Amino acid sequence: MGKLFVNEHPLVQHKLSLLRDEKTGSKEFRELVEELATLMAYEATRDLTLEETTVNTPVSTAVTKVLSGKKLGIVPILRAGLGMVDGMMNLIPAAKVGHIGLYRDPETLKPVDYYCKLPPDVKDRDIIIVDPMLATGGSAVEAIRIIKDSGCKNIKLVCLIAAPEGIKAVRDAYDDVDIFLAAVDSRLNDHGYIVPGLGDAGDRLFGTK
């Protein structure tokens, strides 16, 4: 069973409060999403494997450790996931970035695919999907399906705010995926928005409303 990790770090919780505030404008919203993504990346990479190496310090030789496991890929779900890419890349700059374009049909709330470009060697990489919002879970489940169909075995999902319905949808479809969150809110409203949530993440990031 994949893990479910909710990041209670004080910096995460403080920044999340600022992000939720309706008075926070797009510039600050983008900065906060990037900062939160960096803090989430720290936890989502905690299980990366290491191997021993030696380096010559100015004083002596140090037996020390470097990353040794599979290469990483970051896949934002467009649009709002784009806001988390730079924050993740701050810690894992060698990762390749793929893109999956999905939007929710406002009537059915089902994801509609419109774009997909993954690294050509995606099956040899561990993939971290990023999207600030996990609402019904439809978009995340569809993104996981696309990446698994490309041959990738190890997928993590990093979101900021989730509804219980979204967590359950991902768990029911793919119980091997680790899920990293900053908060689990109470529910979805009749329009599929997370309550209390932060509104429409894509619109707030890009100023489209």
By CB under 6 A, is residue 83 in contact with ligand URA? no
Of these, 5, 103, 174, 193, which contacts ligand URA (CB under 6 A)? 193
Of 135 and 179, CB closest to ligand URA: 135
Of 119 and 166, CB closest to ligand PRP: 166
Q: Pick the catalytic residue: 20, 24, 104, 178?
A: 104
Catalytic (active site) residue 208: no
Stretch that binds ligand URA, among 94-102, 141-149, 175-183, 188-196 (CB under 6 A): 188-196
Q: Of ligand PRP, ligand URA, none, which one sits near residue 5, judging by CB under 5 to 8 A according to partner kind?
A: none
Q: Pick the catalytic residue: 108, 124, 145, 176?
A: 108
Of 12 and 194, CB closest to ligand PRP: 194
Q: What is the DSSP letter of 105?
A: -
By CB under 6 A, is residue 164 in contact with ligand PRP? no
User: With 0-12 CB in 10 A as exposed, 13-18 as middle and 19+ as buried, what is 203?
Assistant: middle
Question: Quick check: 15 and 160 in contact, CB under 8 A?
Answer: no
Give residue 166's Cα distance to chain centre.
14
By CB under 6 A, is residue 137 in contact with ligand PRP? yes
Look up tokens 């979805």; give the residue.
Answer: 188
| Contact pattern from residue 165 through residue 184 relative to ligand PRP, giving x for each residue in contact according to CB under 6 A and a dash for the rest | -x------------------
Give residue 9's Cα distance to chain centre.
17
Q: Checking phi first, is residue 57 left (phi over 0); if not, alpha (psi -120 to 50) or beta?
A: beta
Q: Of ligand URA, ligand PRP, none, which one sits near residue 197, judging by CB under 5 to 8 A according to partner kind?
A: ligand URA
| Alpha carbons 44 and 151: distance in angstroms, whole number | 21
| Alpha carbons 183 and 38: distance in angstroms, whole number | 16
| Alpha carbons 113 and 178: distance in angstroms, whole number | 23
Catalytic (active site) residue 200: yes
Catalytic (active site) residue 104: yes
Q: How many CB atoms lie within 10 A of CB 77?
A: 27
By CB under 6 A, is residue 183 in contact with ligand URA? no
| Alpha carbons 30 and 195: distance in angstroms, whole number | 21
| Alpha carbons 11 and 199: distance in angstroms, whole number | 21
Site for ligand URA in 106-145 (CB under 6 A): 133, 135
Please give the positions annotated as active site.
104, 108, 200, 203
Q: Which residues are at the interface with ligand PRP (CB under 6 A)? A: 77-80, 102-104, 109, 111, 131-140, 166, 192, 200-202
